[in-house]
Each structure stands twice: as C-alpha cells, then as structure tokens.
Structure 1
Amino acid sequence: MRMTRSGAVLLCLVFPVVAWADDVLERAPVRAWHSLARLEATTLAFQPSAGVGTDEGFVQVDPTFILDGGAEFGISLGAPLRLRLWGGSGGTGLIRREDWDNLSDFGQVVRAFKLGSDNAPVGVWFGALESYSLLSAHLVRRYSNRLNPDYHPAGGFLTGTLGPLYTQAFASDVLGARLMGAEVVLDVQHVLFGQPPEPGRYTLALSAVHDWGRAGGRAPSVMLAHLDGTAVVKVSPGFEAHLLAGWGGRPGVGGAWGAVVGLGADALTPTLDLRLRLEVRRQHGGFRQGFFGPDYELARFRAAGADDVPVAEASFPDGYSAFSEAEVGWDAVSYGGLYKHLKLSLGVEAFSWGRFDVDGRVAAQFFARSLEVAVKGLAAGMGQPGARYLGAAEVRWRFLDGKLYALGTGGTLLFPTMEGALRPGAFASVGLGVDNAR
C-alpha cells in the first residue's frame, strides 16, 4: 500500500510516453526471458534563440536493447549518438561534445536497470528519473534529472523493508556528487500491535535531501528535511483514501520552515488507475514543499522569478499555497503494460501572493495503438516577473504491422551557461524507427 502508491516510480519514463519497446520491463510476472531490439534514426536540429549562438543540425542514431527476466530483473541499454551535419563553433567535432563531456554523461548508456521488486526485501533501480517523487513527496516531487539538455546522468534508488520499517534512498546522479536523499517510513500499527493484515495504514516518515552541487555544472549546495504522518481512513476494493500532515525545514537556516495538511485518494480498476491529492501548505523563511521539483535542474542555476540567483539563494515570500495533483491511466482493454490508451499527469500549485506553477504530461494512443501522441509542459512562476515556460510534443505512427514507425518531436529548451544564465533554444526532429515490439 504505502510502497506502491506513494513513491515507487520504477520504470515511469514518462516522456517519450509512448515508446512501446519500454513496456517489456513492465510485463506481468513471467518466468521466461524476453528480449527486444530497437533502432531509431532521426534528423535533429538545435536552434538557439536569435542573436545567441548558431543553429546546429545532427543526424541522431538511437539504438536500444532490452532484456527482460520477469518481475525481479530487467535491463535496457542504449544511448542517442548525435553526429553533426552543420553548425557549431570552430573546433567542434563530429559528435556533439556536450553529450559526452563529463563522467555523468556516460550514465545515459543505462536506460533502465532493475533488480528486485516491490514484493522483495530489497530492490534496486537505475536509469533516467522522470517525474520522480520520494515517497511522501514533500521534498522531491515530479523531479526530472534530464531537464538540462547538456547533462545526461543515470539516477537510481534503493528500496528496503525490515519489519515495520520501509526505506527508499535515491541519487539523481550515480556517477557524480549531486542530489541525494532518503526517507524512512515507520508502520506505527505494526510497532504497537504487531504485523497488521494491511501494512502501511498508519505511518510516520522522516526524509532528508541534500544537493552537493558538484556535477552537471557547479551550483550552491542545499539541504532540506521533512517529517510526515499519514493515516489511511477508508479502504475498500479498488479504493483508498488517506489524510496527511507534515512539517519541514532547512537545517542550519534559522526561521526556514513549512507545514502541510492534505488528503489523497487512489482508485484502481481493471481499466482505470486514478490518484488524486490536495494539500494546503504554509511556507516561511525561504522553505517550500516540493523544493526539488520539476524545474529544479534549471532553477539550481537560476530560479524562476525576479531574482537573478540560484534557487538555493533566492528569496521566497512567506505565505500559503494550495497544491493539487492528478495521475490518470486508462485503457479500454485492460492492457497490462505501462503505457495506456490515455495517461495524464498534472500538478498545480497556487500561492497566496500571486504565483502559479503548473507541470503536466498527457499521452494518448489511437487506431489500435498505431498512432501515439504525447505532450508535456512546464510553467514556473506564472503571475510574477521572470516566469519560465517549457514545452514539447511527440508523435509516432506505426505501420507494416507495427514493426516500423515514423516519429516527429519538437519543443523548447533552456541551456545553462558557464555564467549561470539560461540560454533559450528550441529543437525539432523527424525520423524512422524499427523494433520487434509486436
């Protein structure tokens, strides 16, 4: 209950949301071994904003190999290789240097690796973190470690269960000193009355997260901690409702604290997976819930808003906020894989002093899953000077019995510079792919 519904994202590589090949690692438990090979070739153009830099064009070759050993083991290997066609400053080579210019970038070769599962005493997962939340999610919520276009780390997390304790520890970059944290959850009912028939109904949790700021570009270090309590108040077949409350702060920073109360509901049927959460928050002294959020990999260099400084040093007004989150997965035929006919994820936070943050992704499949469309967007600091907007879209069309597909993507980017500024740009690509997913 607490482990699968609150924090274990496993292989939720949400965007591109509709790559069938990644479903192999999320099959129902089987004993047989399965493999899958995929190759994509696209033309790709990075287009910096007018007057800043030069346009660059590449041909991108993207191989993937997946080996599925059932519920307890799976591995996906491969990385995009971008070969320059035009553009770039003097001295640039054939391969895009920014994709492989530090140790962390070599983490992108591991797309996903899992060992163990939610039912095992210990589980390990490595790969790209997309919309990752650390259990109670009051420190790390909807975080992506690949938002910086020139930084391609492999993240990872470890889960473990020992009696009434459940723990999840994570690192945003397993090859560099970056964002690290852990949350320990205590099953109070287990401690007081012995092992319950339904674990995780009444819990206390302590989490702490620290950013060392030494990989993916230098940035100020920062640390936050949070204490949470959760009570499941309604359980019925396919439905769960819970209440929550918590308090957090920034160790070593006086007067930086925050409090939160809220409620959540999860519904699960053969065709629908629905999760809802609503919270009321109080922020004071520069602390805020969801500090390590969807735009953090850019905000660590320059926060959204009028302050021209990293988020660790930016002023954040005291006040209240209302946060809501919805995750919806629907499939007309009770499809057992990760990707559904419709998958929606949306988070919205409105602050009492006039700021709004929105982060969302939606993906849909049409025409017997032959056409796939995915859109994602991020808006941070709306209603205030210095708001930040990012968006992207992807379309895939499968033909020849699904073995061959055409794809097109496009969107906006922000490139961190050596000075800590964010250089705006855009990208677009079209190409073909082939695999044996069907």
Structure 2
Amino acid sequence: MISGKGKISGALTFAVLFATMAFGCFGYLSTATIHAPIITEVYYDTYLKGDTGGEFIRIHNPTGSSINICGWQITDREGVITFPEWADINAGSGLYLAYNATAFYDELLQKADFEYGVDSDSTPNMIIDGGLKLANTGDEVILKDNEDETIDIVIYGNSMYAGVGWTGTPVKDVSEGVILERDRNETTGQYEDTNSFADWDDYRIYVVGQSHFPYVTFNFNGNVTVFTSPDSSFNEIANAIDNAQESIFLNVYQFHNFYLMDHVIDAIERGVEVKIMLEGDPVIGIDDEERYIANETVAAGGEVRFMINNGSRGIHDRYAFNHAKYALIGNETTIVMSENWKNTGVPTNNTFGNRGWGIIINNPDVTNYFCEVFFEDWKPASKDSFPFTANDSIYGNKYGGPPPDFVPDRTIPTGNYSHPFDSESISGEFNVSPILAPDTSPCVFG
C-alpha cells in the first residue's frame, strides 16, 4: 500500500504437545492517514491451456471499515479493468477477480466476486479497457483509486517498472500452478506491506487449490495416550477402531496391513461410517495389498479415495504427496503417528518393525480441527480426489482392485526385538498445536 498521494497447507507432519469509516465514490480520503486495500494474490502462470483463462487477482481490505471502490482500477500498464459504481470491499475481507469465473470455480471450488476477461456465467463483470492479461515472464499489477492515484502495486519476474509505489527488485517469478501470495506477519497475522519484494518472499510455495489452515493451540484438561512402534502401536490402533461407534476417518500415505483392515471392516459391519484417503502415486506405486484393502473396504460399505495427478487430463494434485498419517475416531479421538499402516509401521507382532511413535488425543476441539483438514483434502468435487473405481475406462484398476488371481499373504513377520515400551495414558492440562505441511510448518520451522 502506498501512503499519501503518490501504495504467499494436506498432509500432516506432526502435532506438538506441551503439559469506522465508509467512503463514497467521490469521498475517498488520503491514504496518508488510513490504511487502504492491498493486492494479496496474483495467479498468472496457470495450468489451463492458453494460460490466461485461469488467471485471477485478489485484493484485501485490512481496515476495520467497508470501503466503496467504485471507479477503482487494476492495470498492468497495458489493459485496465474498473470496478462498477456499486462495488464495495468489506472490512477484513477480500475480493477475487477472475479472468474466467467458470475456470476459477473449476480450479478453486469457490465463486469469484468479479469477472474481467470473458462473460462465462452470472458473476458481475468489471469494466474492461484493452483487456488485462498477465505475462508469465514478468509484469505489473497496479491498484489505483478513482482519482488515478496508485494505492498498491506488485511487480514480478523481468518487469522493468521503476515508477511510484515500489522499492527494489521485482518479486521472483513462480512456477506453473503456483499463486504469487503476499506474506503474513507470523506474530500479528497481518499482511506484510513494505512495498518491496520482501512482502512476497515467503518460505511457503502456494500451489493453487491448497488449504490455508491457521496455526492454533488447543488448551484442555483431559488425557492422552502415547505409544511406540513396534511395541504397542497395533494394539492401540486396533482398540481405538474397535471402540468406534459412529465414524472412522483415516488419512494415510499407505495402508498394507490386512489385520488392521479386519478391524476396519468389522467396524463397517456394525454400522460405523468409514472413509479412507490414500496417496494415489506413492514412490513405489500402489501395491496390490493396498488395492485389496481398498476393494474389501468398499465392498463392505466404506469409502476410499486417492489423491491423484494426471496433467494430460487437467488434473493436478494439490500437494506433491498426501503424506498424512492420522485417524479420527468419532468426534473426540485423534490418532497421529509417524508410521504408515503397513506391516513394518504398525506390525501385528511387536518383535518386528520400524521404530515409530504415536499419540491418541482425546479432545473434541482437536478432533474437529483435524476433521476440517480431512474433509478439505477428501472433497469429491476436487479433481485430484478420485474414488476407488474398478475397471475405470481410463485408469483400469490403478485405483481399483488387485488382479483376479491375487492372494493376500497373511504371514505375520517376527523378529528379535524385545518390545520394552508399553503405551502410557497421561492425564493433566495440555496444549496441543497441530502442525500441517505446507500450511503452518513454516511458522515453526521457517
């Protein structure tokens, strides 16, 4: 923002546990004494063929009052788009301006506030002069008020802009599918505003469609259970599944353990709702063991979806990997652990397996938080959320069942580990801070 007349989430990593003014169209006041709207997102290098159709810009009102922005403009010094006379931006809110509102909804699953490139649906149109098309290699996005004064600006890539409202070098250009997004102060949560590239130099890369969950801490009196793998992980998880009465929502990178599957299917058969989200393209591919488990789960009445990527069909996964490892039992139990639900990660026999850890948190607020995360990733309307489908016309059985001659190997591996660590339930006052990658991990590890 310029003063005066003159202005960047998932997959879960781990959880840390510890014991008034409104302004008319011709009555805008000088920005020397107030804050004003700022540009917070620019999406210029899109996945869409032809690129421009997917572009969008977001502006935000950081003030405590609604502002009338009739006659305000956004320009790249070539094309100009102007807000209609009735346009307002509410206090603390933002407006999405999409070149193509239908394409915007298809990508973000939300409606744009204005459309400025084509008239694709009923979204209100901005007034267009010359058209606004952002170059992938470098450009400017300039917000001006109704008196043609520069209010905010962002320049990126190879832009040679040297005018009012910007200091220093342009913001580095981003890759295809990445939104250029303004950084927030980690302490106040407010957008940075120094009129320089520093405002946009975030640790996080904002891929289009990703979530923006906040960093929060839940304080409560209650109990948690801690456990290790291979010592007690199978028993603790199996017991939690057996005690489920309403729902089990599982998000895990890989699921290969047939004996955990048995407990899940038993839960389905007694009327428990089961949804399982899996990675659709793990490093070694989807094993037949996992296809078998998915098939058996769906056959019993559960649901299974995969997070997939297929650029040739316009499907781009929101995250490099769905690398989560958590389960939600009913509305108050959250299980977070370091291991996949495999024979090595959650071994049936505790003399064998990987070293890992887990925690069971019994608190409805924590579970509600993770439930929101789960359904954000699960959402069927997202193109990268693909249901278990046998004999699909495009994918065959990649996301379906195993070959007809597949026979599950139920051999239980054993070893020489002495499993000295029992699980332990701890009661007291707790602070629980969920850390999600990519949403909040930069706040802790940035």
Same fold by TM (over 0.5)? no
Q: Hey, which of these two has a bigger chunk of helix by percent?
A: 2
Query: Which protein has the larger Cα radius of gyration, Structure 1 or Structure 2?
Result: 2
Q: Hey, which of these two has a bigger chunk of strand by percent?
A: 1
Which one has more relative contact order, counting CA pairs under 8 Å at least 6 apart? 2
With structure 2 as the length reference, what TM-score do the two structures score? 0.22
